[in-house]
Amino acid sequence: MAPIDTSKKPIVWVLGGPGSGKGTQCEKIIAKYGFTHLSTGDLLRAEVKSGSDRAKELTAIMERGELVPNEIVLDLLKEAMLARADEAKGFLIDGYPREKSQGIAFEKNIAPVTVIIYFEASSETLTKRLLGRAASSGRADDNEETIKLRLKTFLDNNDLVLAQYPSKLKRINAEQTVDVIFGEVQAILDPLVA
């Protein structure tokens, strides 16, 4: 495997509960920094659309709000990163890791993470946002029942994921406006590209 030199191409993990604004902030980060954005949720939804053999199994798991098996997610992510490694200025890895073992596997098989941005918001805020988005998102998992399950999966795993990286973890209050949050994001990312 071609190693990714993280001193030249920072790897940023973007974490937070369902609806915490990971995708919203990633769009702004891409616009300013030109990083390559890889969302494991998007990669999995693309795999489902491709109608591959495992599409049905993946759909069922995502509709239950559970985590897709680690090796499937890591394979998709690694393939996508290596395909873009030459041209990428840096990587935004959105929605990964969601389990302690995913973080360990990433650093062992791909590269060390540079910094972790964690968007923190209450379950009430997350639920409200996702229900607000449900009417227009077309996502099979944006319904009340699945949102509850997604939140539970997140809460069951999140503390253990974050506890692994005390020195790389940057917490941001995601209850603020999109622009205020992005101001805090820039304070974290500007030094990486200076």
Is residue 151 part of the contact set for ligand AP5 (CB under 6 A)? no
* Strands across the sheet containing 115-120: 36-39, 91-94, 11-16, 115-120, 169-173
Q: Which of 9, 12, 19, 184 binds ligand AP5 (CB under 6 A)?
A: 19
What part of residues 107-126 is at the interface with ligand AP5 (CB under 6 A)?
A: none
Could you confirm whether 150 is annotated as catalytic?
Answer: yes
Could you confirm whether 171 is annotated as catalytic?
Answer: no
For the chain, what percentages of helix, strand and coil (3-state, to nearest 5) are there?
Answer: 55, 15, 30
Please report how close the Cβ of residue 8 comes to ligand AP5 at its closest, in angstroms. 25
Quick check: 77 and 110 in contact, CB under 8 A? Answer: yes
Is residue 11 part of the contact set for ligand AP5 (CB under 6 A)? no
Q: Which of 10, 90, 95, 103 binds ligand AP5 (CB under 6 A)?
A: 95
Is residue 10 part of the contact set for ligand AP5 (CB under 6 A)? no
Could you confirm whether 22 is annotated as catalytic?
Answer: yes
Could you confirm whether 45 is annotated as catalytic?
Answer: no
Is residue 127 part of the contact set for ligand AP5 (CB under 6 A)? no
Cis previous bond, 3, omega within 30:
no
Could you confirm whether 133 is annotated as catalytic?
Answer: yes
Per CB under 6 A, which region of 5-13, 80-88, 103-111, 129-137 contacts ligand AP5?
129-137
95: left (phi over 0), alpha (psi -120 to 50) or beta: left
* Coil/strand/helix, residue 126: helix
DSSP of 31-53, one letter per residue?
HHH-PEEEEHHHHHHHHHHTT-T
Residue from 45, 64, 78, 139 carrying the catalytic annotation: 139
Which pair of structure tokens corresponds to residue 75?
A: 């394979």
153 Cα distance to chain centroid: 14
Q: Which of 4, 38, 76, 98 binds ligand AP5 (CB under 6 A)?
A: 98
Q: Which of 13, 35, 38, 40 binds ligand AP5 (CB under 6 A)?
A: 40
Which DSSP symbol is given to 56? Answer: H
Using CB under 6 A, list all residues that contact ligand AP5: 16, 18-24, 39-41, 44, 61-62, 65-68, 73, 95-96, 98, 102, 129, 132-133, 141, 150, 174, 177-178, 181
Q: Any idea which residues carry the catalytic annotation? A: 22, 98, 133, 139, 150
